[in-house]
């Protein structure tokens, strides 16, 4: 969990956001539920993969494709490396939902303890192998420092991962991962209206396509119908 949901996830998202507009980076993070569904299909026999979920994956991938725009280059295209970082980060945390559901939700370890172990191990790994040059500069900007400590630390990591383990246990990997549909919307709104980033109409359309895919994945089907794949126990 430390490797999937913290070290790779945070590193790739930080790199991707540094190379892309924050709104675009946030929109690409909307692919997390899509990756969770694919990994569930492959490895998690406890959860059914329905027709709706498969259709939702396809629709969501179309949204990711349109927002990444791999057919464009130069000034009109996105930074390909940044897009790759965001997708790797999304794949990593998407996989973590399945891992947590399969191996951790049945343990007696409290969510707060799991979060503490996960973050502590990540700190050690990044401290040993990461590039920490210039990390002290964050203290020169009080707004940035408070944002890191409170926004990213207490709320975005500590509280977020405690809730993460709770919802994975009670809702399952795929449904729990769809809670990540909120950040793409917020990122685009902040990028467009607070940071004055250039957000194209196609970016908004792509985001809504991704969210449509998430909606289809969560749409209820009648019991016993629409089950495309169910692994044998």
Q: Say yes or no to pLDDT of 210 above 50.
A: yes
Contact 159, 112 (CB under 8 A): no
Under the banding of pLDDT at 50, 70 and 90, the label for residue 9 is: very high
What is the sign of the dihedral through the CA atoms of 55, 58, 59 and 61? positive
Q: Say yes or no to pLDDT of 131 above 80.
A: yes
Under the banding of pLDDT at 50, 70 and 90, the label for residue 222 is: low
**What distance in Å separates the CA atoms of residue 131 and residue 13, rounded to the nearest whole number?**
16
Under the banding of pLDDT at 50, 70 and 90, the label for residue 75 is: low
What is the mean predicted confidence (pLDDT) over 53-81?
A: 74
The DSSP element (H or E) to which 211 belongs, if any, is helix 201-218
Instruction: Name the token pair of 209.
Output: 């396509």
230: CB partners within 8 A, 6+ apart: 45, 48, 49
Question: Which of 23-32, 164-173, 175-184, 220-229 comes out lowest in average pLDDT?
Answer: 220-229
Contact 68, 41 (CB under 8 A): no
Range of the domain at 186: 2-229
pTM above 0.85, yes or no: no
Number of domains in the chain: 1
Under the banding of pLDDT at 50, 70 and 90, the label for residue 232 is: very low
Q: For tokens 């792509």, what's the residue? A: 206
């Amino acid at each position: 969990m430390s490797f999937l949901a913290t070290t790779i996830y945070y590193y790739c998202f930080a790199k991707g956001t540094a190379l892309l507009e924050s709104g675009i980076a946030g929109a690409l993070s909307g692919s997390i539920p899509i990756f969770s569904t694919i990994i569930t299909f492959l490895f998690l026999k406890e959860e059914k993969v329905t027709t709706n979920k498969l259709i939702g994956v396809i629709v969501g991938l179309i949204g990711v494709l349109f927002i990444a725009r791999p057919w464009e280059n130069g000034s009109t295209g996105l930074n390909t490396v940044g897009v790759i970082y965001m997708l790797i980060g999304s794949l990593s945390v998407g996989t973590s939902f399945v891992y947590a559901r399969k191996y951790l939700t049945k343990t007696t370890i409290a969510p707060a303890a799991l979060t503490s172990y996960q973050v502590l191990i990540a700190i050690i790994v990044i401290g040993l192998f990461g590039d920490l040059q210039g990390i002290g500069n964050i203290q020169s900007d009080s707004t940035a420092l408070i944002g890191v400590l409170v926004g990213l630390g207490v709320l975005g990591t500590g509280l977020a991962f405690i809730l993460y383990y709770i919802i994975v246990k009670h809702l399952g990997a795929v449904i729990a991962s769809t809670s990540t549909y909120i950040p793409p919307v917020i990122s685009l709104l902040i990028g467009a209206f607070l940071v004055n980033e250039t957000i194209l109409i196609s970016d908004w359309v792509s985001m809504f396509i991704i969210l449509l895919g998430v909606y289809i994945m969560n749409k209820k089907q009648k019991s016993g119908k629409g089950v495309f794949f169910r692994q044998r126990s």
